[in-house]
Amino acid sequence: MMHFADSLTFSGRKAVAAWAALPFPALAGSSLPEILSAHQQDVPWKLLSSWREQKVSCCFAQSVVLRGVCKERPTSCPGQPRSPLHSWESPEQVLQQYLHSHFPGAFSTSHLLQQPCDTRPPFPQFFSPLLTRRGFLLDKAQGFSSAGVESIPVLAALQSSPVLHPLLSGLCRDLRAPSVRRWSSFFTAGVEQDDFQEALEELKTLSQCYETGFGAQGSEDEADSD
């Protein structure tokens, strides 16, 4: 995983953010262009970090894997395509174009796998009754328990993204707040005060690598001045 993250980082960046859609919100019977066209305003996956949710409008690099959605070519529609995504030949091209439209200029790799994620026991059965046995969305609840969900489509992504700036700078700020000199066990474990301060400076420098220049620097400077 560390080597994979390294392939998505550059310009001093070392960390990536994990995102997922579990299950991927796909209506039963819909093609991939129809599914993705329903999410033109915002991507349908969520940040897995415990940091507060933020809308991501750009990223530097990303790798996305979608599994469990049919890889068959979408049915052609008479006349003009219903969306630009319908004009692409293969599901792989559809997903790649969707990523480029949301994150123009970013380095993006994408993969489609036909096999869904198996959710039969002992997988936790926490699913909505609006899911079919194969994990696709229905307009109304089905007649059997959500425990009957046997598989789901899943999207997972790793992103080198500006969303990591507030997460890393917040971590640095939290570590500066308490007086670590009061934690005797902290330094008896072998941590030197100078090493700790150096690590904090490295963390601050790393967080700055994820800035995009839209006011993030000012907010961090204010926090440091406190």
Q: Is 217 helix (H, G, I), strand (E, B) or coil?
A: helix
Identify whether residues 90 and 180 lie together within a single domain.
Answer: no
Identify whether residues 99 and 172 lie together within a single domain.
Answer: no
Q: Per the domain annotation, does 194 fall within a domain?
A: yes
118 is in which domain, residue-wise? 1-161
The pLDDT value given to residue 51: 65
Each of the 226 residues of the chain gets a pLDDT tens digit; together they read 778 788 888 888 888 889 999 999 998 888 899 899 888 888 889 888 766 656 667 889 999 999 998 655 455 445 445 778 888 888 899 999 999 988 988 889 999 999 999 999 899 888 888 888 899 998 776 655 555 889 999 999 999 888 888 888 888 888 876 666 666 666 676 667 788 888 889 999 999 998 876 444 444 444 443 4
The pLDDT value given to residue 146: 54
Exposed/middle/buried for residue 207 (C-beta within 10 Å: 0-12, 13-18, 19+): buried
Identify whether residues 15 and 49 lie together within a single domain.
Answer: yes
Identify whether residues 142 and 60 lie together within a single domain.
Answer: yes
Q: Per the domain annotation, does 215 fall within a domain?
A: no
